């Protein structure tokens, strides 16, 4: 089974995708983390982020895989655990530019589709229902108010030990929303068969229950 979850940053995709996968016994694939991994490597190797061809060549030579350790999912880039590093504000600021490159997306999508063919998956991102898993059994689109998304992302960074302000997060989210919705390939959009869930006033358990109700046909 393939379950696609799309939506903007801060809407609760990763949290709910992880919870849903655990509940169903499926594999969780965080596609955003894959783009962050490429971004992390671009920064690490001092590649010109404005040069798509160079970024693409780097992505071709990058090995990304997920691993479960003590109920926690880790992401590895070229066998190095970069789970924490890719969640920095610097990577968060740069990732939308990397993810907008069609050649990079082509490489990542092929990897994501191969993962989905091998297992029952819950996959989240920006273009999962339209591009990566157009044949998904269920396509969810999660959304939330701007203020709630800012609150969640600010709290996430602070818990990780980064000093950020709500205003800087607002600017970053607005910039990412524009980039995600306007990119030529894999733009963020609500599809005709999307199941929309507004998580603004829902707890994780409440939102998860809504999704399970749809999947289980209750």
Residue by residue, DSSP assigns 15-48 as HHHHHHHHHHTPEEEEHHHHHHHHHHHHHHTT--
pLDDT value of residue 123: 95
Write out pLDDT tens, residues 8-54. Answer: 989 999 899 999 999 998 989 999 899 999 999 999 999 999 999 99
Where helices occur in the chain by DSSP H, the ranges are 13-24, 31-44, 52-60, 89-99, 102-118, 146-159, 166-182, 204-216
Q: In this predicted model, what pLDDT tens digit does every residue of 127-156 receive, in sequence order? A: 999 999 999 999 999 999 999 999 999 998
Q: Which pLDDT belongs to residue 41?
A: 97
**How many CB atoms within 10 Å of residue 210?**
16
85-134 pLDDT, tens digit each: 999 989 988 998 999 899 999 999 999 999 899 889 999 998 999 999 99
Is 71's pLDDT higher than 80? Answer: no
Do residues 92 and 39 touch, judged by C-beta distance below 8 A?
no
Within 10 angstroms of residue 2's Cβ, the number of other Cβ atoms is 23
Which domains are delineated in the chain? 2-206 (3.40.50.300)
Query: How much is the pLDDT for 64?
Result: 93
pTM of the model: 0.86
Q: Specify the range with the lowest mean pLDDT, choosing from 28-32, 50-54, 160-164, 191-195.
A: 160-164
* Angle, CA 195 vertex, CA 152 and CA 101 arms, to 5°: 65
Question: DSSP assignment, residue 160?
Answer: T
176 and 126 Cβ atoms separated by less than 8 Å:
no
**Which residues are CB-neighbours of 208 under 8 A, at least 6 positions away?**
16, 19, 20, 23
Please compute, for residue 82, the number of CA atoms within 13 A of its CA located in the half-sphere on the CB side.
24
Q: Return the higher-pLDDT residue of 187 and 141.
A: 141
Is 16 within 8 Å of 125 (Cβ atoms)?
Answer: no
């Amino acid at each position: 089974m393939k379950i696609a979850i799309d939506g903007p940053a801060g809407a609760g995709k990763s949290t709910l995708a992880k919870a849903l996968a655990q509940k169903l016994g499926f594999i969780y694939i965080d596609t955003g983390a894959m783009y962050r991994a490429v971004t992390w490597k671009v920064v690490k190797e001092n590649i010109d982020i404005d040069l798509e061809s160079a970024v693409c060549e780097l992505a071709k030579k990058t090995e990304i895989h997920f691993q479960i350790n003590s109920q926690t999912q880790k992401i590895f880039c070229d066998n190095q655990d970069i789970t924490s590093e890719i969640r920095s504000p610097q990577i968060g600021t740069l990732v939308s530019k990397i993810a907008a490159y069609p050649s990079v997306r082509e490489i990542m999508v092929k990897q994501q589709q191969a993962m989905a063919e091998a297992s029952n998956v819950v996959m989240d991102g920006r273009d999962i229902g339209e591009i990566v898993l157009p044949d998904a059994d269920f396509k969810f689109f999660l959304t939330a108010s701007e203020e709630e998304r800012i609150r969640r992302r600010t709290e996430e960074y602070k818990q990780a030990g980064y000093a950020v302000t709500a205003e800087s997060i607002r600017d970053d989210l607005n910039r990412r929303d524009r980039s995600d919705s306007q990119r030529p390939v894999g733009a963020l959009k609500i599809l005709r068969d999307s199941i929309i869930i507004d998580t603004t006033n829902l707890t994780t358990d409440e939102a998860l229950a809504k999704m399970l109700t749809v999947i289980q046909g209750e």
